[in-house]
C-alpha cells in the first residue's frame, strides 16, 4: 500500500477532498433513486395526473415494424430450452407472500433461471398482485405474459376487484353495450394489476336443459345471442389492452361421463349436431377475434373416427378441426395438465409432448414445468417434434407480447392500483348488470309488496352447501328492508324436526320468500332440491298459492320442481367461481319493494312452459 493511500485512509477529510467529484456523483445518484424507482415500476406511457383517467394500456391490432423486429430478434437469440420455456405456463398465488418464502423463490427461479414465459394468477388482493407481478417481471429477461381466469370479472380471482354476474346474466340483459362496458372495466382493472390475458369468454353452448353442465357459466342456448355477447366481450377487452381466450373447446355445455373410461368426459352426439352446435359456438368466438382458444379434456368420437382421446392430446380435434376446418390462427392452449387422472393416463411429461404434437401452442400448468421443458426439448432433439413447430408457437407468443407493448413497458404503477381496481363506478356497473338481468319467470301478483303495506314476511333459505354465507347476508338485507322479517335456513343433514318449526312460522306469515341457493349437479340433476326440503316447499305453496315468492340464486331449472309457486325470479350467479351471486340479493329486495321491475329474459330453455326468451 502506498503512503498516499495510507494518508487517505487515515484522514476522512482528505479522502473527501481528494474524491470531491466522485462524492458529488454519489450524492446525486442517491438523490435520484426515488425517481429511478418510479421510472422502473411505472409504465413508459404518459402518466395521468391525480384525478385524471390514465390512458388504458394498449393492445395493438397491427404489429409495428419495431414490435415485429423485437419478436424476431428475441426468438433468434433463444436456445431450444429457452424457446420451449416461453410456451410453458405455471401457476402463482397472488396473496401476500414474504421474502424467502419457498413458493416465491420457486417462481422467481422459473422466471429468472429457466426463462419461463407465462404465469397464471390465482387469488390475492389488488396491490399484492401488482407487487408480485412487478417482481416477477423484474426477474425475467423476456417480459412475462400474465394470465388469469376472469370469468366473473377480476373479482373472481382478486379480492377487492370487481366481480360481475355470470355470463348468463349478460345474456339475460341482452345488451351488447352493457357487455362491452363490463368487459372494458374488467380489462382496465386487469392491466392495472399487471394481467394481460383472461381465459374467457366461455363459448360453451347450453343446449340441453336436462344437462346444464355449465349452467350460468354459459351465455345460454341461443347461438345468435351468444355470438353478439362474445363479440362485445372481446372488443371490450381488446380496446382496453387485454387478450382473450375462448374456452372450453370442443365444448363443455352438454358433456357426459364416459361409461367406459371413468373420470373422463365426452360429447356423445352425432357429428352433425356437434358441428352445428358446439363447433358453431366456437366459430363465433373465433370470428369475434379471440387471441387464444383453450381446449378441455373432452373426447368427441363422432368427429374423430371413434377416438376416445380428449382434445388435450387429440390432433384430429386441434389440428383437424380447430386449426383446420374452423380456421383458428391464434394460440391454442391446453387446460391444466397436472390433474391426477390426466397424469395417470398419459404421464406427467408425456402428456405435454402429446399435447404439443396434437397442435397446442402453449402448455398450461404441467405438473413440473422444468421437467416438461426438458421432455419437450428431448422430443425435438430426437426428431419427434420439428424445431420449426416450436419456433412457430414461440413466435405467436412473442408477437402477442409485442402487441401488448411489453418489450417497452412491462411494469405497473403499484401506487395507482386503487384508482382503477374495484372503483365505485365499476361496482355500480356490477349492480346495473344484476338489476337489468334479474328475470321474472312467473308472477301471480305476489310481487311487488303493496306500497305502504307492512306484511309479516318469513324468509326460508334452502342452501345446498353447509357453509354457504350468502343466506345470512340476504336475511339481514330483508330484515332491513322489511322490519320484522323472520328467516329460517334449510341445511344439509338438518334435524327433521326443524321442518315443523318452519311450517308453523310460514302459516303465521302474510308472505313467504323462498330463497334458493341450490346450484345444479354438474352432469347430474339440474334441480337438486332435497326430498325433505321439496316436500315442505310444496306444502307451503299449496297452502298459500299466491303468497309465496321464490328467488333462485343461479339456477333457473328449479322452477320445474315448484311450478305452482306464486312468483319465481332468477339471478345468474353461482357461489364460488361462477359469477357474483351476492349482488342479486339487492336486486331482489328492490324488486320486492317495487323499486325495480325485472326485465331480464331467460337465455336458456327450462321446458315447454319456459323456453328461451321467457320473462315479464
DSSP assignments along 163-186, one per residue: -PPPHHHHHHHT-HHHHHHHHHHH
* Structure confidence by residue, pLDDT tens digits, 467-496: 899 999 999 999 999 999 999 999 998 999
Instruction: Determine which helix (DSSP H) or strand (DSSP E) holds 539, and give its type and residue range.
Output: helix 531-543
CA atoms of 53 and 554, how far apart (whole Å):
35
CA distance 433 to 380: 49
pLDDT at position 575 is 76
Instruction: Give the mean pLDDT of 2-19.
Output: 34
What is the separation of C-alpha 250 from the centre of its chain, rounded to a whole number of angstroms? 18
Q: How confident is the model at residue 576 (pLDDT cuts 50, 70, 90)?
A: low
User: What average pLDDT score do residues 179-197 get?
Assistant: 98
Tell me what the mean pLDDT of segment 41-66 comes to.
58
The pLDDT of 256-269, averaged and rounded, is 92
What's residue 20's pLDDT? Answer: 40
E-strand ranges in 281-347 read 292-295, 298-299, 331-333
Residue 440, CA distances (Å) to 325, 526, 538 in order: 41, 19, 20
Is residue 193 over pLDDT 60? yes
Average pLDDT rounded to a whole number, residues 32-42: 37
What band does 51 get if pLDDT is binned at 50, 70 and 90? very low
- pLDDT digits over 75-85, tens only? 999 999 999 99
Q: What are phi and psi of 326, to 5 degrees?
A: -90, -10
Query: What is the pLDDT at residue 16?
Result: 30
What does the chain come to in residues? 616
- Which three cell numbers, joined as nine digits, stand for 377? 426439448
Q: How confident is the model at residue 41 (pLDDT cuts 50, 70, 90)?
A: very low
Torsion-angle region of residue 109: left (phi > 0), alpha (psi -120 to 50) or beta? alpha
**CA dihedral for 92, 95, 99, 101, sign (positive or negative):** negative
Q: Is residue 54 scored above 70 in pLDDT? A: no
The phi and psi torsions of 474 (rounded to 5 degrees) equal: -65, -40
Q: How far apart are CA 65 and CA 271, in angstroms?
A: 44
pLDDT of 24 reads: 37
**Do you find a cis peptide bond into 221, omega within 30 degrees of 0?**
no
Residue 551 and residue 461: Cα distance in Å, rounded? 10
Residue (of 492, 599, 610, 600) closest to 561 by Cα position: 610
- Region of residue 422 (left: phi > 0; alpha: psi -120 to 50; beta: else): left
pTM: 0.90
- Cell, residue 574: 353461482
SS3 (DSSP) at 158: coil
At residue 119's C-alpha, the angle toward residues 113 and 120, to 5°, is 155
Q: Residue 38: pLDDT band by 50, 70, 90 thresholds?
A: very low
State residue 14's pLDDT score.
32
* Cell reading at 265: 368426459
Distance of alpha carbon 234 from alpha carbon 290, whole angstroms: 7
CA distance 504 to 19: 92
Helices (H), 314-415: 315, 340-346, 350-358, 369-381, 387-403
Query: Hey, is 231 helix, strand or coil?
Result: helix
Give kind and range of the element (H or E) at residue 246.
Answer: strand 243-249
Confidence of residue 577 (pLDDT cuts 50, 70, 90): low
Residue 536 clears pLDDT 60, i.e. is over it:
yes
The x, y and z cell numbers of residue 337, run together, are 395438465
56 vs 406, more confident: 406
**Pairing, β 265-266 against β 145-148:** unpaired
The closest alpha carbon to 223, from 603, 599, 557, belongs to: 603
Largest CA distance in the chain: 108
Whole-number pLDDT of residue 98: 93
pLDDT, tens only, 379-391: 999 999 999 999 9
288 contacts: CB under 8 Å, gap ≥ 6: 227, 230, 231, 233, 234, 235
pLDDT greater at residue 132 or residue 21: 132
Stretch among 91-95, 449-453, 492-496, 540-544 having the lowest mean pLDDT: 449-453
Residue range 209-228: average pLDDT? 95
DSSP 8-state class, residue 577: S
Contact 64, 357 (CB under 8 A): no
Cell numbers representing residue 281 in the block: 359456438
Q: What is the mean pLDDT of residues 202-218?
A: 93
Sign, CA torsion 354/360/362/366: negative
Query: What does the DSSP 8-state code read for residue 407?
Result: T
pLDDT tens digit sequence for 488-530: 999 998 999 999 999 999 999 999 999 999 999 888 899 999 9
What cell does 80 get? Answer: 431450444
- Between 126-139 and 102-112, two packed helices, what is the crossing angle to 10 degrees? 40
Q: Which of 74, 108, 81 is nearest to 92 (CA)?
A: 108
Which H/E stretch holds residue 440?
strand 439-443
Provide, rounded to the nearest whole percent, the portion of the chain with pLDDT above 70: 91
When the pLDDT of each residue in the chain is averaged and rounded to a whole number, the result is 91
- DSSP state letter for 144: P
Residues facing 430 on adjacent strands: none
Q: Average of pLDDT values for 450-460?
A: 92
Closest CA to 295 of 185, 229, 199: 199
Cβ neighbors of 321 (< 8 A, separation 6 or more) are 250, 279, 303
CA 174 to chain centre: 20
Which range among 5-19, 73-87, 396-410, 472-486 shows the weakest confidence by mean pLDDT? 5-19
Band of pLDDT at residue 13, cut at 50, 70 and 90: very low
Residue 7 has pLDDT above 70, yes or no: no
In degrees and rounded to multiples of 5, residue 542 shows phi and psi of -65, -35
Residue range 588-595: mean pLDDT, rounded:
98
pLDDT at 261: 86
As given in the structure block, the three cell numbers for residue 16 are: 473527501
pLDDT band at 451 (very low <50, low <70, confident <90, very high): confident
What percentage of the chain exceeds 90 in pLDDT?
86
Q: Is the dihedral of CA 243, 123, 264, 334 positive or negative?
A: positive
pLDDT at 19: 39
Among 36-45, 420-429, 596-605, which stretch is predicted with the lowest mean pLDDT? 36-45
Task: Give the Cα separation of 174 and 42 in Å (integer).
Answer: 38
Q: C-alpha cell of 248? A: 372450453
Q: What is the pLDDT of residues 114-153, one digit of tens each?
A: 999 999 999 999 999 999 999 999 999 999 999 999 999 9
Amino acid at each position: 500500500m502506498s503512503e498516499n493511500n495510507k494518508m487517505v485512509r487515515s484522514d476522512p477529510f482528505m479522502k473527501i477532498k481528494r474524491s470531491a467529484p466522485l462524492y458529488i456523483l454519489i450524492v446525486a445518484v442517491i438523490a435520484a433513486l426515488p425517481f429511478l424507482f418510479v421510472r422502473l415500476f411505472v409504465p413508459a406511457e404518459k402518466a395521468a395526473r391525480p384525478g385524471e383517467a390514465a390512458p388504458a394500456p394498449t393492445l395493438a391490432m397491427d404489429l409495428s415494424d419495431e414490435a415485429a423486429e423485437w419478436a424476431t430478434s428475441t426468438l433468434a437469440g433463444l436456445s431450444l430450452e429457452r424457446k420451449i420455456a416461453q410456451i410453458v405456463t405455471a401457476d402463482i398465488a397472488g396473496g401476500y407472500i414474504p421474502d424467502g418464502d419457498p413458493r416465491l423463490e420457486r417462481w422467481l427461479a422459473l422466471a429468472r433461471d429457466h426463462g419461463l414465459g407465462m404465469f397464471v394468477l390465482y387469488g390475492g388482493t389488488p396491490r399484492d398482485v401488482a407487487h408480485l407481478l412487478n417482481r416477477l417481471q423484474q426477474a425475467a429477461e423476456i417480459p412475462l405474459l400474465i394470465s388469469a381466469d376472469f370469468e366473473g370479472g377480476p373479482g373472481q380471482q382478486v379480492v377487492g376487484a370487481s366481480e360481475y354476474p355470470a355470463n348468463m346474466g349478460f345474456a339475460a340483459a341482452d345488451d351488447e353495450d352493457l357487455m362491452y362496458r363490463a368487459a372494458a372495466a374488467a380489462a382496465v382493472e386487469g392491466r392495472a394489476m399487471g394481467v394481460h390475458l383472461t381465459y374467457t369468454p366461455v363459448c360453451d353452448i347450453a343446449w340441453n336443459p336436462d344437462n346444464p353442465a355449465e349452467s350460468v357459466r354459459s351465455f345460454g342456448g341461443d347461438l345468435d345471442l351468444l355470438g353478439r355477447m362474445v363479440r362485445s366481450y372481446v372488443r371490450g377487452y381488446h380496446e382496453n389492452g387485454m387478450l382473450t381466450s375462448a374456452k372450453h373447446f370442443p365444448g363443455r355445455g352438454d358433456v357426459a361421463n364416459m361409461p367406459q373410461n371413468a373420470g373422463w368426459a365426452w360429447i356423445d352426439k352425432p357429428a352433425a349436431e356437434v358441428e352445428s352446435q358446439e363447433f358453431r359456438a366456437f366459430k363465433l368466438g373465433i370470428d369475434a377475434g379471440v387471441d387464444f382458444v383453450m381446449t378441455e379434456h373432452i373426447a368427441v368420437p363422432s368427429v374423430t373416427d371413434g377416438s376416445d382421446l380428449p382434445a388435450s392430446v387429440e390432433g384430429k380435434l386441434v389440428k383437424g378441426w380447430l386449426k383446420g376446418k374452423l380456421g383458428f390462427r391464434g394460440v391454442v392452449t391446453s387446460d391444466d395438465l397436472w390433474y391426477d387422472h390426466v397424469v395417470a393416463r398419459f404421464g406427467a411429461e408425456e402428456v405435454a409432448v402429446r399435447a404439443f404434437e396434437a397442435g397446442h401452442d402453449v402448455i398450461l400448468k404441467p405438473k413440473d414445468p422444468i421437467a416438461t421443458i426438458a421432455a419437450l426439448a428431448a422430443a425435438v432433439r430426437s426428431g419427434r417434434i420439428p424445431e420449426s413447430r416450436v419456433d412457430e408457437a414461440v413466435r405467436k407468443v412473442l408477437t402477442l407480447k409485442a402487441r401488448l407493448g411489453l418489450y417497452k413497458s412491462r411494469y405497473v404503477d403499484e401506487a395507482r392500483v386503487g384508482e382503477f381496481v374495484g372503483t365505485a363506478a365499476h361496482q355500480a356497473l356490477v349492480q346495473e348488470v344484476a338489476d337489468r338481468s334479474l328475470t321474472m319467470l312467473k308472477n301471480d301478483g305476489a310481487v311487488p309488496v303493496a306500497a305502504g303495506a307492512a306484511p309479516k314476511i318469513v324468509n326460508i333459505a334452502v342452501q345446498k352447501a353447509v357453509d354457504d354465507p350468502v343466506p345470512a347476508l340476504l336475511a339481514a338485507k330483508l330484515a332491513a328492508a322489511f322490519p320484522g322479517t323472520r328467516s329460517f335456513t334449510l341445511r344439509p343433514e338438518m334435524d327433521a324436526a326443524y321442518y315443523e318449526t318452519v311450517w308453523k312460522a310460514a302459516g303465521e306469515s302474510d308472505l313467504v320468500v323462498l330463497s334458493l341457493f341450490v346450484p345444479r349437479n354438474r352432469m347430474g340433476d339440474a334441480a337438486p332440491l332435497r326430498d325433505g326440503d321439496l316436500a315442505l316447499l310444496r306444502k307451503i305453496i299449496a297452502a298459500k298459492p299466491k303468497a309465496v315468492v321464490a328467488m333462485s340464486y343461479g339456477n333457473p331449472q328449479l322452477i320445474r320442481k315448484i311450478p305452482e309457486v306464486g312468483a319465481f325470479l332468477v339471478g345468474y350467479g353461482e357461489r364460488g367461481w361462477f359469477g357474483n351471486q351476492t349482488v342479486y340479493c339487492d336486486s331482489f329486495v328492490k324488486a320486492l319493494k317495487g323499486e325495480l321491475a325485472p326485465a331480464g329474459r331467460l337465455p336458456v330453455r327450462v321446458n315447454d312452459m319456459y323456453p328461451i326468451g321467457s320473462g315479464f
